[in-house]
Chains A and B, each alone.
Chain A
Amino acid sequence: MAKNQDIIKSIDLISDLRYQITNQIEGKSLLACIQCGVCSSGCTVSQYIDLQPHRVVACLLLGLKDKVLNSNAIWYCSLCHRCTERCPKSVDFSFILALVRNMAVKEGYIPPEYEVSINAVLQHGFTVPYSGDMKKTIDRNRAKFGLPEIIPPKLDELIFIVKETGLEKTLEDAKKKKKEVKI
Chain B
Amino acid sequence: MILKNNLKEVRQKKGFTQEELGKSVDVSRQTIISIEGYRYKPTLELAMKISKKLNLKIEKLFYFEH
Partners in one complex: no
